[in-house]
Amino acid sequence: MKKILFVCLGNICRSPLAEAIFSHKTQGLNYSCDSAGTAAYHIGKQPDHRSIQVAEENGIPISHRARQFQAEDFEDFDFVIAMDRSNYSNMKALVNYEPKNLYYMRDFDPEANGDLDVPDPYYGGIDGFNLIFQMMSRSIDNLIAHLDSEK
């Protein structure tokens, strides 16, 4: 079973939404996933109400309690997927080696055009959450295709 971890800053907006999208799209397949944050701001909290709203509007169940990323996650997961450059760097700084399983979410986005960041929608409105939903849904489709091709 391939294990995927989605990581953002606080683990209440982007990463739990990515986790929910991935879980929904791979239901019944041999994958598992989780999400975490590089910061400890929201440990134990549910996803942001706007992430929940966007997930529900797209027919995707979402249930998560925020947790902080740990260096051991590199050993526990086959793919560790960062939402942006800052979180990618923060995770790499926790280990003294080059993690071979660390990726950007938008590494899998055919529309990325060199922009690797999934923008943090926290300080904006629902439109930002809808934008990242579409961005992550596209990326996750290609991630799943990549995972399937490795079998």
Cα separation, 141 vs 105, whole angstroms: 11
The count of domains in the chain is 1
- Rounded CA-CA distance 81/66 in Å is 16
CB 42 within 8 A of CB 15: no
Q: Give the per-residue pLDDT at 150.
A: 86
Active-site residue among 8, 48, 50, 67? 8
**Burial of residue 76, with CB atoms counted within 10 A of its CB: 0-12 exposed, 13-18 middle, 19 or more buried:** exposed
What is the C-alpha radius of gyration for the chain, rounded to an integer number of angstroms? 14
Could you say which of 34, 73, 84, 120 is catalytic? 120
The residue behind tokens 């971890």 is 5
Query: Is 120 one of the catalytic residues?
Result: yes
- Residue 48: domain span: 2-149
* 91: CATH: 3.40.50.2300
Q: Is the model's pLDDT at 17 over the cut of 90?
A: yes
Overall average pLDDT of the 71-100 stretch: 97
Using the predicted structure, report yes or no on whether residue 151 has a pLDDT greater than 80. Answer: no
Q: Is 8 a catalytic residue?
A: yes
pLDDT of residue 16: 98
Torsion over CA: 75, 96, 104, 39 (sign): positive
- For residue 54, the model assigns a pLDDT of 98
The catalytically annotated residue of 13, 14, 106, 109 is 14
The reported pLDDT for the residue numbered 53 is 98
Is it the case that residue 83 has pLDDT exceeding 90?
A: yes
Is the full-model pTM beyond 0.75?
Answer: yes
* Paired tokens of 90: 């923060």
Burial class (CB in 10 A: 0-12, 13-18, 19+), 72: exposed
